[in-house]
Structure 1
Amino acid sequence: MKSIVTLFFSLFLSAFFCVQAAKVDTVVTHSQKMQKDIKAVVITPDSYARQTKFPVLYLLHGYSDRYDGWVTKVPAIKDLADLYDMIIVCPDGAYGSWYLDSPIDPDFQYETYIADELVNWIDQNYRTIPSRSGRAITGLSMGGHGALYLAFRHQDIFGAAGSMSGGVDIRPFPNNWDLAKRLGKQSEYPERWEQNTEIGLLHLLTPNSLQLIIDCGTEDFFYEVNKKLHEALLYRNIPHDFISRPGVHNWDYWGNAIKYQALFFNRYFETNKMKK
């Protein structure tokens, strides 16, 4: 009899915690500019049924990955949605898009898609806080570049941004990761490479115009460009959090880094709530 009671109690607890868990949906959005449908994962917290409006964290994947990479490889991001009562959106950035509007390939217009088309779709279909005070964006590797790039260029859309092991300066890598396919050869179009890298966009920032967090492992091949970005931000008196600890370019590092980033963005969202 005791074993039966224990079994039913265990089943009850399992059902209870399943009900309390964040909800993960795959949605299909449409890009008018690229004339194609694009998938995204949308994670809504358990509290979505009880609260009115929610902040949104846009979480970008890296080169060669796709929209479900984060939720598949770091399932704990669902817990972060519950912990901080935020919606997490993981869009598809295609294979090597770098989240740019490519001047040479009309099929890669991902700046417009993320910062305009997707944000508007999410605001229309979910109970969001539809302003920069309720939006943050971050990502890993190519997605780290994309998050800072989009936030720097669209400060009316995003109020906070981060990067994890981000390719925050693309200029040292002219032959890597399809960058030349998106921008043309660096030797032929050096101005494009200057205009589409974070180091070349710092003039867009003023102190506290964005809340920023940058994280990169000391053994990462992107570590030096991240350190130089950190130093350039210091030189320009741009406040930011910079995290550097032992680690390489892998999911173990990013699975840990996203916890710090989510906490940072939650503090940004909560500060804005208190100002209202």
Structure 2
Amino acid sequence: MSKFRTTEISNPEFESNNLRFITVKTSNLKGRGDICVFVPSGENLKNIPIITLLHGVYGSAWIWAHKAGVHFTAMKMMNEGSIQPMVIAMPSDGLWGDGSAYLPHNSFNFEKWIVEDVIEATIENIACTSSKSNLFISGLSMGGYGALRLGAKYANKYKGISGHSSITNIDQINLFVEESKANYKQDIKENEDVFAIMNQNKESLPAIRFDCGINDLLIEHNRALHHKLTEAKIDHNYQEFEGSHEWEYWQDHIKDTFLFFSDLC
């Protein structure tokens, strides 16, 4: 029995390039949420991993596919045998303001939408996945913040987490959105900071990687996170590459995330 009052899923007759679209109604959003899902081709696929891939500010469920062609990248890597077959679930962030930051606030639970609803909707509707599927989470910018923060907070749920050009503390959201930072305030301040949550859960963290372009406006924040994790002896993989806060960078370096997650399976 479905946990969702209503579910709509795209008709295979009209789908293309292995993309499927799911809309569910959830109490966490007080309405409907969208998920774009890449489902790999192949016979007898079952219990395959699920990557939750989060977008940044201003975006939605379609943006990783139609700004970066992430499904083509995944298909190519799977066909070459460089990564295992994996489902990629790309949800909207809940479409609050310029970006929800994947935090609970303003009477919406954007956090549970990601860590509960998106996974359950994927398992309910994508036959090659199940409750036995390994779970991974990644994202860019605000989505990198969501992935690193939620992956650390729900450490026992995910096998690996990855961030690209990530916000590392909610204070940095003001670089991108017009909404007041007060909207994002959490009752427990540590819940606003990636390092604080990682440090709290340091004994149970999944595998961690993150990267940033050397010309990115968030580079110093990512370097600071790397330094704090190193000082705290929290195992992680941090890399810097040429590039800025732009789609060309994310389109290229999502490959690093796919390889990292595939190696963990």
Identify the residue that residue 96 of structure 1 maps to in structure 2.
99
State the Cα RMSD in Å.
2.2
- Structure 1 counterpart of 2:27: 32
Alpha carbons of structure 1 residues 215 and 256: separation in structure 2 relative to 1, 3 Å: same
Secondary structure, aligned partner of 1:155: coil
1:58 equivalent to 2:61? Answer no
> Does residue 261 in structure 1 map to residue 257 in structure 2?
yes
Q: Which residue of 2 aligns with 1:14?
A: none
d(CA) in 1 for partners of 2:60, 2:18: 19
- Rounded to whole Å, the distance in 1 between the matches of 2:257 and 2:167 is 17
Which structure has the larger Rg? 1
Shift of 1:140: 0.4
Task: Give 2:113's aligned amino acid.
Answer: Y
Letter in 2 for 1:216: C
In the alignment, the residues of structure 2 paired with residue 262 and residue 175 of structure 1 have an alpha-carbon distance, to the nearest angstrom, of: 28
Q: Equivalent of 1:232, from 228, 232, 239?
A: 228
Q: Contact 2:208 / 2:235 at 8 angstroms: preserved in 1?
A: yes
* Contact 1:96 1:179 (C-alpha < 8 Å) held by counterparts: no
1 or 2, which has the higher helix percentage? 1
Paired residue type of 1:77: H
SS at match of 2:22: strand
Secondary structure, counterpart of 2:136 in structure 1? strand
Kindly provide the amino acid, as one letter, of the partner of residue 24 in structure 2: T
Distance 1:27 1:214, change over 3 A: same
Letter of the structure 2 residue corresponding to residue 200 of structure 1: A
Where does structure 1 differ by over 6 angstroms across 4 or more consecutive aligned residues?
Answer: none
**How far apart, CA to CA, are the structure 1 residues paired with 2:248 and 2:173?**
24
1:183 matched residue in structure 2: 184
Q: 1:135 to 1:179 in 2, by over 3 A?
A: farther
Change (3 A) 1:76 1:124: closer
Name 1:8's counterpart in structure 2: none
What TM-score do the two structures reach when normalised by structure 1? Answer: 0.80
Identity %: 24
Q: Distance in 2 between matches of 1:231 and 1:179?
A: 29
Q: CA deviation at 1:34?
A: 2.5
Q: Which structure has more RCO (C-alpha within 8 Å, separation ≥ 6)?
A: 2
Q: Quick one: distance in 2 between partners of 1:72 and 1:227?
A: 30
Task: Call closer, same or farther: CA 1:172–1:140 in 2, change over 3 Å.
Answer: closer
Q: Does 1:43 align with 2:38?
A: yes
Is the Cα–Cα contact under 8 Å of residues 195 and 229 in structure 2 kept in the other structure?
A: no
Q: Quote the residue 2:11 is aligned against.
A: none
**CA shift for structure 1 position 160:** 0.7
The alpha carbon displacement at 1:81 in A equals 4.6
Do the aligned partners of residues 56 and 173 (structure 1) sit closer, same or farther apart at CA in structure 2, a change above 3 Å counting?
closer
**1:185-264 paired onto structure 2 within 5 Å:** 192-206=188-202, 209-264=205-260
Unaligned runs of 5+ in 1: 1-20, 270-276
Q: Distance in 2 between matches of 1:55 and 1:214?
A: 20
Q: Cα deviations across residues 189-224 of structure 1 (Å, max 9, x unaligned)?
A: 8x7554212022132232573111101011101111
Q: Which residue of 2 aligns with 1:167?
A: 167
TM-score, length of structure 2 as denominator length: 0.83
For structure 2, the residue ranges without an aligned partner over 5 or more in a row are 1-15, 79-83
Query: Taking structure 1 as reference, are residues 65 and 45 closer, same or farther at Cα in structure 2, changes over 3 Å only?
Result: same
CA distance in structure 2 between the partners assigned to 1:173 and 1:182 by the alignment: 11
Contact 2:104 2:111 in 1 (8 A): yes
* Partner secondary structure for residue 243 of structure 1: strand
- Provide the secondary structure at the position in 2 that maps to 1:171: helix
